[in-house]
Amino acid sequence: MTHPKSLEDARAALRQHFGFPDFRPGQTEAVESVLQSQDTLVVLPTGGGKSLCYQVPALMLPHLTVVISPLISLMKDQVDALTRRGLPATFVNSSLTSTQVADRLARAQRGEFKLLYVAPERFDVGSTAERLKGTGVSLLAVDEAHCISEWGHDFRPSYLRIASVRERLGWPPVVALTATATPHVRADIVRQLKLDHAKTIITGFDRRNLRYHVVSSRTEQDKDEALVGILRAAPGLAVVYASTRRTVERITNLLNDARVASVAYHAGLDDAHRREVQDAFMKERVRVIVATNAFGMGIDKPNVRLVLHYAMPGTLEAYYQEAGRAGRDGEPADCFLLHSFQDRFTHEFFIKGSYPERDVVEKVHRVLLRSASSTGDVDLSAEDIAAGIRDKVNVREVEGSLRILTAAGAYRRLPENNSRANVRLLATPERIKRELGVTADSMELGLLRALWRVAGSALEDGTVIDLAGLPPGFSGANGVASLLDALQGRQFVEWKRLGGGSSLEPKRSLETFAIDWATLDRRRRAELAKLDAMQQYAYLRTCRRGFVLRYFGDPAARPRCAGCDNCLGTHVEVSKGKASTGRTPRNRPALRGRQGKPGSPAPDDLVLEAADGVLLERLRTLRRSIAKEEQVPAYVVFPDRTLAEIAVRRPSTTAALAGIRGVGPTKLDRYGERFLALVRSADGTEAA
């Protein structure tokens, strides 16, 4: 495929493969920059179409596009959607077997794919980068690029290695993409990725189709009642964010008891269960998914109508990104924050644990010095250390202090020795003969005999045994350990591995170690400042939208808007299982007639009449049926916006259907006749 000389080829690819007539603002500049092999930083709001900025160029560039993505579920969603469009894409991650990984990389080397999604950790081991370099990499796309910045709300150390990955791939051009980046974070992305003379493209952060609400709550019961009330009052798919696994499970049970079909999604689920849960939501078998904040980036569905935060996030960046999961199809959606004053304490607890103050670190070090032996050995748990400090210090602060001391070389955790152990015989010969003698060939009895031959009567007082030095037949040190565990469980022996524990440099003061107190203090203050901004948002009496836009440095900020509870006067009041607003909600804005900036006027706006609504429900039923047949999310067949336009415009021919946004040649060929038949039958019924 030849390198395009203009954007016309890119627009043609967009129309052919994705069904959009043209790029949105920001997408045009990004695609043009990428096609010119220029390093590019793209900041588009959630739902602004970031993925198209590298997916369309990837189809035209001569070699492979490698996409670094942070989550397995996000990769799967993207690849599934591309595959349904007939586009050559795949992913490589820990959900695959080694054979599957090898097969996909080999196919990538043969040029069978244009896009390969990987996690940054994939390059930490093996020769993945070198194999891909030999294939030829035309573009490196870094999704969720704010993860590379220590100032970002979702910092991930693995992202810091992307610059070295780029070097190993042969320094291909980079496009870095994010939805939430303050000026400080943007500068950090450019520096960490070594983007030389990067073109920075920033469009407005304003998502005009979203309405923002804050519900003040004093107790957990208040939040529960508000949550159930809002979900009962407002229709559509919903995402509920909670801060802990336990809360996720409790809320899921609460909603199901209230007959709001819900599923739980968090890190405690195994991979298979997590995929099952996400598929149930994506294919709309359940209405609500309740998820921990850590998995926000994995939930990518265009027609979510509600996002509810059960508790206040720690930063406005995190809240804006998670709330932005609503209304990605450009249609009206609502974002609710259930807030109580106590929400702040949880975040302060974690911040103090991650960045403990200097005097806390010094107190921890003094407790360690007092308890260390002459050789520096220490046998204290974090709980013991916290109890040894007179002032109130929690265990998390102690653990944070130990990490700092470990990084500075003042404190070391010692690994256990895998083969040397102290073993003591507890059972008498009579008991051994009585309980094990009847199975003289048992592995347990064989091990006891081997231990006695090595140590003799010293075994009765406890002695050191080299497990790896025992006779063959016990599967080495690990096999012996399993047998010892079984014997200890039956009180035949008592044993423990040697080594482990911790040690301290016993005669050195803390001042002699290189600890960057200024950086620790700066990071703590920065995190607390972000928390302050989030809490200010929750307590605002003025325009919430304007506050968010000013935080991100967007000049579009205005004193008032038509999309937040303060400006609309629609505050939610909670009363015994019900949630109501102070005013009747405004009518839903008209559907936009073409792809463009959310909320922007369009001369061909669509208005759904009653008959159109009936047809729209029939179209959705057909879409669900097709999605079930093909085992894909419903939006992969057609998004809600496309179905709405079909319902209003009622195309009767293939050519007319092809003119509707979101209907490309592939989908027209695959689904067109079934949808046209439904429209024709609806028109016939109404005429009769």
The pLDDT assigned to 477 comes to 78
Across 457-477, average pLDDT: 83
Cα–Cα distance for residue pair 449/442, rounded to 1 Å:
11
Q: pLDDT digits over 194-219, tens only?
A: 988 889 998 877 888 999 999 999 88
pLDDT at 605 (0 to 100)? 47
Integer CA distances (angstroms), 208 to 182, 211, 371, 597, in order: 20, 8, 60, 9
Least confident of 24-28, 71-75, 224-228, 545-549: 71-75
- Enumerate long-range contacts of 161-164, CB under 8 Å, 24 or more apart: 161/120, 161/123, 161/124, 162/68, 162/120, 162/192, 162/193, 163/192, 163/193, 163/194
Q: What is the pLDDT of residues 270-301, one digit of tens each?
A: 778 887 888 888 888 999 999 987 555 555 68
Structure confidence by residue, pLDDT tens digits, 628-679: 888 777 778 888 888 888 988 899 888 889 888 888 888 888 899 999 999 9
Please report which confidence band the pLDDT of residue 416 belongs to, taking 50, 70 and 90 as the band edges: low
Average pLDDT of the segment spanning 111-136: 86
Consecutive H or E run containing 493: strand 493-499
pLDDT of residue 589: 33
Average pLDDT, the chain: 84
Q: 91-100, 343-352, 464-473, 605-614: lowest mean pLDDT where?
A: 605-614
Euclidean distance between CA atoms 50 and 176, whole angstroms: 10
Closest CA to 347 of 539, 529, 551: 529
Of 244-258, 471-485, 595-609, the poorest mean pLDDT is in 595-609
Mean pLDDT of 529-538: 92
pTM for this predicted structure: 0.62
610-687 has the same fold as 210-343+532-581: no
Which is more confidently placed, 543 or 477? 543
**Does residue 106 register a pLDDT over 60?**
yes
Q: How much is the average pLDDT of 43-72?
A: 88
pLDDT of residue 687: 42
pLDDT value at residue 298: 52
* 430/248: higher pLDDT: 248
The edge-to-edge listing of strands for the beta sheet with 262-265 is 210-216, 333-339, 304-309, 237-242, 288-292, 262-265
Tell me what pLDDT residue 471 has.
82
Long-range residue pairs from 156-163, CB within 8 A, at least 24 positions apart, any chain: 156/70, 156/120, 158/119, 158/120, 158/121, 158/124, 159/68, 159/70, 159/120, 159/192, 160/192, 161/120, 161/123, 161/124, 162/68, 162/120, 162/192, 162/193, 163/192, 163/193, 163/194
**pLDDT for 367-396, tens place per residue?**
998 888 877 788 888 898 998 898 888 899
* Mean pLDDT lowest among 110-114, 118-122, 379-383, 683-687: 683-687
Q: Residue 389 burial by CB count (10 A; 0-12/13-18/19+): exposed, middle or buried? A: middle
CATH of 210-343+532-581, one of 3.30.9.10, 3.30.540.10, 3.40.50.300, 3.30.465.10: 3.40.50.300
The string of pLDDT tens digits covering residues 552-587 is 877 778 889 988 999 988 877 655 445 554 443 433
Please provide the CATH number assigned to the domain covering 7-202.
Answer: 3.40.50.300
Q: How far is CA 147 from CA 69, 178, 211, 414, 628, in A?
A: 10, 9, 27, 31, 35
Instruction: Please name which of 384, 302, 396 lies closest in space to residue 349, comparing C-alpha atoms.
Output: 396
The CA distance from 645 to 656, in Å, is 11
Note whether 389 and 362 are within 8 A (CB).
no
- Does pLDDT of 601 surpass 60? no
Which residue did the predictor score with more confidence, 181 or 590?
Answer: 181
Q: Give the number of other Cβ atoms within 10 Å of residue 182's Cβ.
A: 21
Domain range annotation of the chain? 7-202, 210-343+532-581, 346-413+503-526, 416-500, 610-687
- For the cut 80, the answer to whether the pLDDT of residue 74 exceeds it is no
Euclidean distance between CA atoms 343 and 139, whole angstroms: 42
The confidence score (pLDDT) of residue 582 equals 45
**What proportion of the chain, given as a percentage, has pLDDT over 90?**
32
| CB contact set of 250 (below 8 Å; sequence gap of 6+) | none
pLDDT of residue 602: 32
Radius of gyration of the chain (CA): 30
| CB-based contact 332:644 (threshold 8 Å) | no
**pLDDT at residue number 597:** 33
- CATH architecture of the domain covering 610-687: Orthogonal Bundle (1.10)
Q: Tell me the average pLDDT across 595-608.
A: 40
Q: Is the pLDDT of residue 97 over 70?
A: yes
